[in-house]
């Protein structure tokens, strides 16, 4: 393992040989408080970057910047060839983000939440319905697919949120503690959904240092 020192309607594909992620001196401040950085890293397609560090070191802040949810204070970031924050719009539908808080509507069911996500990404209806059914079955949520999210356990909500994160087959996954609230059986169910592939890269934040390093190609230690 190494240490990590067009057109708006058609997202561009990552050019061959182009890194999935390239950071140079990236930082974020909140007034006088330094929340992140500066950090530098480069990640190739198909690789996993493990982000480790103490609480408050900036792990979640980094993921929010890469997801386009937070503007950096300094440095440069390119995600799938797009410069942040100016070209965030070019990443629409290409990045899957799993944060600490689930991006689900509590008054909707798992199926309704995923249909809403599919519509946001303009997925073809029949394909979206097939994909949603497959994902819910894979994570063992088909029997609760029509229950309100507010009625589900934390582990069930996490499984549904992972389905949301991977629904449109993103090229880059940004995963903040994906194992949260999951038992060993559930972890084994979600692992194939969130693993890196030949073309899909991922950034993995985890409190379990040993497991994160075992799954990673590169490591970024913060704080």
Tell me the DSSP string of 80-129: TTEEETTTGGGGTTTEEEE-SS----TTS-HHHHHHHHHHHTT--HHHHH
Answer for the pair 44, 19: CB distance below 8 angstroms, yes or no: yes
What residue ranges define each of the domains in the chain, with the CATH number in brackets? 20-222 (3.40.50.300)
**pLDDT value at residue 6:** 32
Q: Which of 97, 90, 64, 91 is nearest to 166 (CA)?
A: 97
Structure tokens at 106: 């509590």
Residue 3 has pLDDT above 80, yes or no: no
pLDDT average, residue stretch 182-187: 94
pLDDT digits (tens, 9 = 90+) for 58-95: 999 999 999 999 999 999 999 999 999 999 999 989 99
Choice among 13-17, 20-24, 189-193 with the minimum mean pLDDT = 13-17
pLDDT surpassing 80 at residue 17: no
Q: pLDDT-derived band of residue 220, with 50, 70 and 90 as boundaries? A: very high
Q: What is the pLDDT of residue 136?
A: 98
Q: What CA–CA distance (Å, rounded) separates 48 from 201? A: 6
What pLDDT band is residue 185 in, cutting at 50, 70 and 90? very high
Taking Cα atoms as reference points, which of 183, 201, 136, 184 lies closest to residue 162?
136
């Amino acid at each position: 393992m190494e240490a990590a020192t067009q057109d708006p309607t058609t997202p561009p594909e990552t050019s061959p040989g182009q890194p999935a992620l390239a950071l140079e001196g990236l930082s974020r401040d909140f007034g006088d408080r330094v929340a992140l950085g500066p950090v530098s890293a480069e990640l190739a397609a198909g690789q996993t970057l493990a982000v480790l560090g103490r609480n408050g070191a900036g792990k979640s802040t980094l993921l929010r910047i890469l997801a386009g949810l937070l503007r950096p204070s300094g440095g440069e970031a390119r995600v799938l060839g797009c410069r942040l924050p100016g070209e965030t719009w070019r990443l629409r539908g290409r990045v899957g983000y799993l944060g600490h808080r689930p991006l689900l509507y509590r008054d909707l069911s798992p199926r309704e939440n995923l249909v809403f996500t599919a519509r946001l990404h303009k997925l073809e209806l029949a394909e979206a319905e097939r994909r949603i059914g497959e994902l819910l079955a894979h994570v063992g949520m088909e029997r609760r697919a029509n229950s309100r999210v507010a009625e589900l356990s934390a582990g069930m909500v996490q499984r549904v949120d992972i389905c949301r994160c991977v629904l449109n087959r993103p090229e880059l996954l940004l995963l903040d503690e994906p194992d949260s609230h999951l038992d060993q059986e559930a972890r084994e169910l979600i692992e194939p959904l969130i693993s890196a592939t030949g073309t899909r890269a991922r950034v993995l934040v985890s409190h379990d240092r040993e497991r994160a390093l075992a799954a990673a190609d590169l490591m970024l230690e913060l704080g």
